[in-house]
Amino acid sequence: GFWGDFRGQPIESNWQCIMPALASPRLAPSSLRAAAEASAPLFEELRASTEVEVIGWQGKRFQVNALTSSPVTRVPLTTFPDSWPYGSADFRRSNEDDDFTFYNQGASMATHIDETSKKAIAGFYASHFQQAVQGNFSVLEIQSSWVSHYPPHLKARRVAIIGMVHSELAANKQATERTVQNLNTNPSLPYNDGAFDFITSLVSVEYLTKPEQVFREMYRVLKPGGVAIVSFTDRSFVGKAVAIWAEDLKDGVGHSQIVGNYFKFCPENSWENITSLDLSPSSRSGEPLWVVTAVKAAAPVYKTVEKTLLIRPPRKPDFAAPITESLPPPPPAEQELPSILQERLEAKFVESTLKSALPTPQRKSGWLLCHDIKNTIAVKLANTAVGTLLGNLFWKNRFLNIVGGELRVQTEASTPPLLCLPLKEIDEVLLQGKLFAAHCCTPQAFVQFWAASLAEAEEWATAIRRSVAFALSSNLPRGWDVQAMLSNNTSTRRLVHKEVLPAAATPICQRLVDHCYICKSTKDRRSFIPLRLQLVDVVRVQNGSAWIDYSNARARVRLSPGPAAQLQGSEAPVIPLVGAGIDDDNSCRPARNWGLEQMPVLTSTLQNQQLLQLLGGELDSASNEQWLFHGTSFHGVQGISDEEFRLDFAGSHRGTLYGKGIYLAECASKADEYAEPDEEGFCYMLLCRATLGKVLQCVDKSPRSDILEVCKASGYNSLCGDRWTAVHTFREFVFFDPNQVYPAFIFRYRRWNEATFCQTLRQAVESKDQDTLSRLIKVGACLTDEHPEQAVRNRLALVMGAGVSTIVELCRCLGDHRVRIRRAALLTLFQIAINMHTFSNESADLAKAVPTLIDSLSDPVPEIRRQAAQCLEKLGKCSLTAVPSLIKGLEDLDPGVRAAAAQALCKFGKQASAGLTALLHLTTDAVDDVRKAAVIAVGCIGKNGSLDKKVTTLQSCLKDSSNAVRCAAATSLGKVGGSAAIDDLAAMLTDKEVTVRTAAADALGYFGLASANVVSPLALLLKDPEQQVRLAAATSLRALGIHAAQAQIALGECLRVEKDLQVRLVSLSALPRLWGRNERAGGHAVQALLRALEDANPEIRAAAAEALSDMASLGQLMANTPQVEAAMMMRMKDGDATVNRFAQACLDHIHPKATESVQSKQAPKAVQSWRRTEGQMMKIRASINAENEK
């Protein structure tokens, strides 16, 4: 229903341009028609003899073949699968560009079915609509356009349409109401439960990326016994069609099965009489058309979306049963978690709360003492004089009559009234003993009546209140207690009632506060940053006059050129948004008139039906109505709820960055910055209905002082101060008309500090309070991600990972519909995994998250998939079952996900060898980070698989344009043993990049004897100007050992001139390894070590003494023994104990004692004989790497 006529061409010419690029020939209409022509006579004969009976509205059966312009045949649906058969990958699209931009750019008044199909679908609709009560049924069309193809003379009471192109919706002549909404980003339908008799969707179901949520919403808003009709052809926008639709080659039958599965599982087993029909014309020239219908069950069956919320207890062991028993024992019943039970109780509470009966008017008449009081002195005097002779001056016997929407005061029953008080204008009815009074606004009057008895006075007061309540109820929200408002017991103002909601309402509203709490702080905050705002109670404000003013302002905004007109792409006016001192080039910019599609108001993104009903139902999208917060003090809350917002008080509590206006926030944390605690520590904020209308969005750090005046003069209804974009804090909404804001609820709450939050979380874990735990874990996960202090984030991560119950709840958060919650849960699991390795904790609890993390690898949001792969990487070996999914992630469309999957596979080594082919393919990826991660993973897999192929691929990567990839390739070649690439690595030793020389030098140390020819180039690197290059060269020479004996002079010279301590220490440890046992050491090496014994640094002296001790133990000193012995005798007087110890060890090796002959054969590992084989050398190299990592 969103299709457009691109570039003004006819729709058929568009298809001729689009079809050659299709990946699947199934979607080409020409090929389908050609295939169908061969069997056309057979189908014509079959259709001519077929009569199809269908079940429609309220279960009525009727024939449809005689009512449509095309023959009708039933399309058989195969057996439905046992569970939801699709994953997130099935709903991806080749064109993921913004839907609003795509469809609005191609908007046109074109139809996307031919004339035969138009007649067929209109007749089919008529056959269903005729079963309902004519003139009294309602229809909803989702994904609608400029024409709905309903019957021309549609007799529906209500026709609602929802789509994405405002110009097309506005041109739909059959619609009575229109809504602009993208169901792919916001699948919630903005209608009440059971609002429609029929729901239709024409040639648009293939574009739904969230069909499960949309079909659940269709079920919700449909009346029991209502019918849903989904129709489609063989045409579509290929780039916007979901993968499961484009890949199915069965055309009408296969697509009918897909839609049938949608009905079957959304919600599961709740739709009845799922029927698929073929309405394709019998002629060969017409286009095929298929329809799938379903009826909502009479008794709705709702099931939760998250399957993890339903748990099945373990079965008890089966004991021996009697032979006569023929039936198996019944399966155990499903048990619901406390959080689900709590949601059911909340839904029951909301339903009972909103079922307040509409008061019935009561006609009543009779004689009473009456007096019209004009001032307070007369009131007191008249009340004192009642029943006395003086009272006759004030009180007169009058005939009181409630009739015709008026309270009439007459001298006689048949005479004209002395006073007429319209019931709609009465705002107060008081009762005190036998006296009752009524106050009227227009005309201004305050009338008192005196009854003969208390019962009569109460009866009259009740009758007046009921009649006034009935008269006012049409202008006030559903559920308001108008009679209580007239009593005026909870406020100093007339027609105001503040109702303290029952305790069951508090956790419902707490969800909204938690959802809208973002842990940030600005300069407006004058207290600590709370971790949570814990609601204590909720008060519903029922202010009659304020509501009427708000309703009038909302209607005025709705009728003005609103945001929908701006969605058409009309040119925005250029308005200066910044003050003086900014460059002229930036002083003016096009204003963003609406600006809330890409980042909707935070309060509107929480999907909770109980909260929606408690707050008063759906908001008015035509006027851009939203829920927003306003924080203030206790007296401020009372004053605003009694007398509405006042502009003259603007700025009295805090500054006014954007000028004098009413400031509201979408984040509860921002509103809390303005709240002030009372004597008992309670804080207060208002939850307000706000009509945004046409919004001007200001993103400047220093807005001009008259921005509000500019906003008003330009025809905008409100201003969005986007500090999120400017300085990454919060967005504030500013109103210059106080009537556009209505204070609907008062929240009283306490601020939780870190200690309170952690203590409550621990108590919930210990007491197994599942409901509290499920709420706190989501809050804690967000805090672990968002809190500005790193220390607090780390402590919260430790608390969150304290038990298996918290891990399980974090896994449930990964199924939340909000990306922010899923992201926070993943980051928390990631931090827990880091803490697990830091503190060497057991990973058994965290391993329970692996299946959920695997599911997150198919999340529709790339960031979630990437973080899931990173989390699996941190879990290491305990996430071994994720290897197949990670290998699949190597083919992800997002480069970040591919890189993260490759990095995660590095942790599994040879156990990830199944992904070697995919990794080798990724080494040619277009993204540098992906190539680097793939090259590193190839090296980590080691020598498993085809060694030649890996070496060849890594050799080609040595010539990559990215230095990071070249370094990774060099390192991986060393790990896999690719000695064939030694010459290439040697050439890299002279590269101009420091990191490349370092990586090449480090890799050459892995090859043993094969690297003998490159010892000289490595020795030359000991003079490199960069410390890390010299260190890598010394480390490799140490690893090469006896194969690098020719480097003794270079190492000795390095000891003499080198200033870096780490390089000198590595060089010292390398010298003893250049010769084998009983081989004479070079004189240059011994002399260099002897010079190092005189160094001023005790670490260098100790390392030199240790090296000489090793050489003595291996018999390498030979002719140099006397000189070394003399030097060691001198070192015995050294002031450093470590030097003394190694000097004594060297002397003991030179002159071993007889009693220690056995001990000398069991020398410590530090002085064991060096390896003679390359295998032993590789083991030593691994130990060196381990030491460096530590």
Distance (Å, whole) CA 535 – CA 685: 10
Distance (Å, whole) CA 1144 – CA 1151: 11
Q: Under 8 Å CB-to-CB from 1097, ≥6 apart: which residues?
A: 1061
Distance (Å, whole) CA 135 – CA 137: 6
Q: Give yes or no for a contact between 1021 and 1003, defined as CB atoms under 8 angstroms apart.
A: no
- pLDDT for the residue 752: 93
Residue ranges of the alpha helices (H) in 768-789? 770-786
Which residue carries 């009081």 as its tokens? Answer: 373
Q: Which amino acid is at 867?
A: Q
Q: Give yes or no for a contact between 810 and 849, defined as CB atoms under 8 angstroms apart.
A: yes
- pLDDT for the residue 178: 86
Note the Cα 1092 to chain centre separation in Å. 62
- pLDDT for the residue 1031: 93
Helix (H), strand (E) counts: the chain: 47, 30
- 592: β partners: 697
Which H/E stretch holds residue 858? none
Token pair, residue 325, equals 């028993």
Token pair, residue 338, equals 């406390």
Rounded to 5 degrees, what are φ and ψ at 589?
A: -150, 155
Token pair, residue 571, equals 């040119």
Q: Under 8 Å CB-to-CB from 262, ≥6 apart: which residues?
A: 205, 211, 212, 215, 230
Q: Which amino acid is at 944?
A: N
Token pair, residue 859, equals 């999340």
Cis-peptide into 502, omega within 30 deg: no
Cis-peptide into 1025, omega within 30 deg: no
Q: Which of 84, 52, 152, 72 has the alpha carbon at shortest distance from 120? A: 72
Helix axes 1027-1040, 994-1004, angle to 10 degrees: 10
Token pair, residue 724, equals 């999120």
Q: Give yes or no for a contact between 1072 and 1082, defined as CB atoms under 8 angstroms apart.
A: no
Distance (Å, whole) CA 155 – CA 779: 50
695-698 and 718-722 strand pairing: parallel
R_g of the chain computed on alpha carbons:
41
Distance (Å, whole) CA 332 – CA 310: 13
Q: Which of 383, 396, 673, 373 has the alpha carbon at shortest distance from 519? A: 673
Strands (E), 21-128: 53-55, 61-63, 73-74
Q: Which of 1115, 1108, 1111, 1048 has the alpha carbon at shortest distance from 1084? A: 1048
Q: Give yes or no for a contact between 198 and 612, defined as CB atoms under 8 angstroms apart.
A: no
Token pair, residue 436, equals 């009752």
Q: Which of 263, 203, 275 has the alpha carbon at shortest distance from 232? A: 203
Mean pLDDT of each 10-residue bin along the chain, 1190 residues long? 34 35 34 37 37 81 64 73 78 77 65 76 86 86 86 86 85 86 86 89 88 90 91 79 71 82 84 85 70 77 32 34 37 41 55 53 76 58 67 78 85 83 84 84 83 86 84 78 75 81 89 92 88 93 90 87 38 34 33 55 85 84 92 91 76 69 92 91 94 88 82 87 86 91 95 91 83 86 87 84 77 86 88 68 69 91 92 85 91 92 88 87 91 90 69 87 91 81 86 91 82 84 91 89 84 87 90 78 82 90 90 85 89 89 90 50 41 50 62
Q: Which of 1050, 1059, 1167 has the alpha carbon at shortest distance from 1106? A: 1167
Sheet holding 271-278, edge to edge: 73-74, 271-278, 290-296, 222-232, 196-202, 138-142, 158-163, 177-180
Q: Which amino acid is at 130?
A: Q
Give me the half-sphere count of Cα atoms (radius 13 Å) on the Cβ side of residue 457. 19
- 448: β partners: 371, 437
Q: Which of 50, 639, 19, 56 has the alpha carbon at shortest distance from 296? A: 56
Q: Give yes or no for a contact between 708 and 651, defined as CB atoms under 8 angstroms apart.
A: no
- 278: β partners: 73, 290
Token pair, residue 1009, equals 């004897």
Distance (Å, whole) CA 396 – CA 929: 94
Question: pTM score, two decimals?
Answer: 0.56
Which residue carries 């690297």 as its tokens? Answer: 1011
Q: Which of 173, 155, 175, 171 has the alpha carbon at shortest distance from 109? A: 171
Q: Give yes or no for a contact between 1146 and 1105, defined as CB atoms under 8 angstroms apart.
A: yes
Distance (Å, whole) CA 20 – CA 3: 19
Distance (Å, whole) CA 263 – CA 7: 37
Give me the half-sphere count of Cα atoms (radius 13 Å) on the Cβ side of residue 244. 22
Distance (Å, whole) CA 47 – CA 120: 14
Distance (Å, whole) CA 796 – CA 784: 6
Q: Which amino acid is at 270?
A: S
Cis-peptide into 443, omega within 30 deg: yes
- How deeply is 366 buried, as exposed, middle or buried, from its count of CB atoms within 10 A (0-12, 13-18, 19+)? middle
Token pair, residue 24, equals 């699947």
Which residue carries 């809350």 as its tokens? Answer: 637
- pLDDT for the residue 1175: 53
Distance (Å, whole) CA 750 – CA 682: 5
At 95 the three-state DSSP class reads coil
Which residue carries 């081989």 as its tokens? Answer: 1079
Which H/E stretch holds residue 630? strand 625-632
At 225 the three-state DSSP class reads strand
- How deeply is 208 buried, as exposed, middle or buried, from its count of CB atoms within 10 A (0-12, 13-18, 19+)? buried
Contacts within 8 Å (CB) and 24+ apart, 787-791:
787/519, 787/529, 787/531, 788/519, 788/520, 788/521, 788/529
Sheet holding 625-632, edge to edge: 496-500, 532-543, 741-752, 683-691, 625-632, 662-665, 731-735, 718-722, 695-698
Question: How many Cβ atoms sit within 10 Å of the Cβ of residue 391?
Answer: 17
- pLDDT for the residue 69: 52
Cis-peptide into 267, omega within 30 deg: yes
- pLDDT for the residue 335: 37
Which residue carries 């897909």 as its tokens? Answer: 258
Note the Cα 324 to chain centre separation in Å. 56
